Every structure is written in C-alpha cells, then in structure tokens.
Amino acid sequence: MLTGAAGFIGSNLAHFLTSQDAYVVVYDKLTYAGNPASLEGIPCERMSFVKGDICDTELVYRTLCEYGIDAVFHLAAESHVDRSIDGPAAFIETNINGTFSMLTAARRYYESLDGERRSGFRFLHISTDEVYGSLGKTGYFTENTPYAPNSPYSASKASSDHLVRAWFHTYGLPVLTTNCSNNYGPRQFPEKLIPLIIHNALADKELPVYGDGKNIRDWLYVEDHCRALDTVMRLGVPGETYNVGGSCERQNIQIVKTICSILDELRPKAGGAKYEEQIKFVKDRPGHDRRYAIDASKIKRELGWQPQETFESGILKTIKWYLDNQQWIANILNGKYRCERLGLGGDEQ
C-alpha cells in the first residue's frame, strides 16, 4: 500500500515497484498535488487505486484488510514549505493527525495478523532531512542529529517521525523511517524549484530565485530514492531510521543556471537569447534554511544502497522528461486529470 502515490515520489515509486513485479494499492486523496495521470503506464493488473484521506482511519483499516497488505509505504503529506507558511493548518491535519490515523489503522491490522504475515509486515514512514534544521558551511545530518525544524512543514514532519518512533517502542509496530534530501525527477508538481524553473523557462516567464540564491540543498534523483525505499523495506531493521541523500550539494542559483544552459542546448531560444536572462532574484522566504547535507553512510554500509545517478545525468533525464511531457504539466496546472482508467468518473479538480 502506497499512500500519496498520485504525487511526485509516490508515483515514481509505484512505477518502480510494479516494474519489479510488485502489486501496489495506491491510497490517495487527490489534493492539488495528486495527479492520477502520473500513474499512467502502470498495467491495471499490477495496481489498484483507492481514493481516500489518510485521516479516515476506518477506510485505511478496511483497505489494509481488503487487499491483505503486507507492506505500507507512507508518503501522503502536504509537502510544500511555502504553502505551510501561508496555511499551516492542512499540514497539521494531514502530516500529524493523518500519520496518527495511519498508525492507528496499521496497528489494529498488524495485531490481527499471525504467522509469517505478522512477522513480515512493515510500515515505512517517508520523511525529510528538513526535520534537522539548517547546517552551517560544514557538517552533515546523521541519524543522530537532534531535530530542529524551522518551518511549519518540517515541524509537522518532525512530529510525525516522533509518532512513528513511539508506535515502535510502545506498541511494537514494525516501523522504519527514512529521512531524505531534496528529490528531483519526472512527475513533480511545478511549484517546486526544478520543475518550476523548467516550466517558466519554456513559458518565457521569470525564473524566481529566493534571496541571494546561495541556499544549498543535497539533490537526489527520485528513482535513486525509490531504490532506497525498496531496500529499506526489504532489509531495514524495524525501529531504525535511515538517512538518504545523493551527496550532490548545489546552490539554488547553480541549479537554475544548469537548467538554463541545458535548455539552451536542447531547446534554443529564437534570436540567440539565453534562458539565464529570465532569472529574477526575489525576496527570501521567511526562516529559509541555509544548507542541508546528508550523511548517508548508514544506509550504504548496512543495507548496500548507492545512488546510481550523478546530478549531471539525473538533471538531463529530468529536463528531457519535462520536454517530452508538456501535456502532463498543462493537465496538472489546469486541474484536468484523466481519471477514467482509475474508475474515478471523469476529471477531478
């Protein structure tokens, strides 16, 4: 069962797992960030779709029972920092109460299992490196770094991490937690930096860069994250947390300039103009963390995971995907989703 798998990472995970012969049940409320079109291409015989809210404990429980779920990847969340600053309530509701609801349903279900089904059951909570706060010029986040969230988004994710930990220690639910750095790749909603810059560049709009553009993030290609999640699900030790990162630190302005120069090659502008000319520095986001960087040595050492893409190969694949899937972006921005295949009765807003 994959919660939030009509979103960015979840849909990539659904494609990845079904390509490895898994059967997945996607459970998603289809908020503005969820797009069933992101699941197109997955054979019907490998996937079921349940439209539901993770706060609906009964529906989560019924879904677990009906499909005889043996592993939960919990990705559903409100995920955009700027939105959490403008309207934190939805983040508290989905990220904290929703995770509480997931744990409640999963615990009831787990306690009804026996034998191998019980010993094999796992609940993997997908979290973020933002729970650790901001780094100075040096150092890395390890699994032992104290939590210091600075935005309503990261505070809500930190809360959910604590609940998941407590359900292991108090109730013995076999949980795992991953804290991952910034992802990029296909099917990301174009409000996040990389798809926003690609979309605006092609639409001849300004390319907004916060502050001085020197905030640093540690970027990971989404399929490498999916491989890490699959690895943790199969080999991770219940109760443990694993940091996941690509060791690809880049300043935001470097990212934007890289995208511009790749687009100059792949989709040159008329008259020799350069995409970089569209860059515009804008007022910084309040509480904007300066630097994130992950120490992923635990998952590498203990579980044998390694990222397969460099930033250079991943960003090229990503840009090519967006160039080839302009209609996907248009659909998601217009709120026009093709739902027929999933039996949802036409376009969803």
Q: Give 150-204 as a DSSP string.
A: -SHHHHHHHHHHHHHHHHHHHH---EEEEEE--EESTT--TTSHHHHHHHHHHTT
Question: In the bound complex, what is the minimum distance in angstroms from residue 282's beta carbon to ligand NAD?
Answer: 21
In 209-251, which residue ranges form alpha helices assigned H by DSSP?
222-235
Does 157 help bind ligand NAD (rule: CB under 6 A)? yes
Closest CA to 307 of 320, 294, 319: 294
Does position 10 interact with ligand NAD (CB under 6 A)? The reply is: yes
Tokens of 53: 């809210």
Among 14, 28, 197, 218, binds ligand NAD (CB under 6 A): 28
| Of 98, 185, 186, 236, the one binding ligand NAD by CB under 6 A | 98
Task: Number of helices (H) and strands (E) in the chain: give both, helices first.
Answer: 13, 13
| Site for ligand NAD, residues 244 to 263, rule: CB under 6 A | none
Distance in Å from the first CA to the final CA of the chain? 24
Distance CA 249, CA 295 (A): 12
As measured in angstroms, the least distance from the Cβ of 307 to ligand NAD is 14
User: Which residues fall within 8 angstroms of residue 18, CB to CB, at 6 or more apart?
Assistant: 24, 42, 43, 46, 47
Binding segment (CB under 6 A) for ligand NAD, from list 77-85, 137-145, 169-177, 207-215: 77-85
Catalytic residue among 27, 61, 109, 153: 153
Q: Using the minimum distance from each CB to ligand NAD, give the nearer residue, 219 or 275.
A: 219
Is 156 an interacting residue with respect to ligand NAD (CB under 6 A)? no
Q: Which residue in the list 78, 129, 224, 230 is annotated as catalytic?
A: 129
Three-class DSSP category at 79:
coil
Concerning whether 23 is annotated as a catalytic residue, the answer is: no
The answer to whether the CB of 173 falls within 8 A of the CB of 167 is: yes
Does the protein bind ligand NAD through residue 77 (CB under 6 A)?
yes
For the beta carbon of residue 87, count every other beta carbon within 10 angstroms. Answer: 11
Residue 63 engages ligand NAD in binding (rule: CB under 6 A): no
Residue 31 contacts ligand NAD per CB under 6 A: yes
Q: Does 99 bind ligand NAD (CB under 6 A)?
A: no
CB of 121 to ligand NAD, least distance (A): 20
Residues that bind ligand NAD (CB under 6 A): 3-4, 6-10, 28-31, 33-34, 53-55, 75-79, 94, 98, 126, 128, 157, 180, 182-183, 189
Q: Report, as residue numbers or ranges, the catalytic residues.
A: 129-130, 153
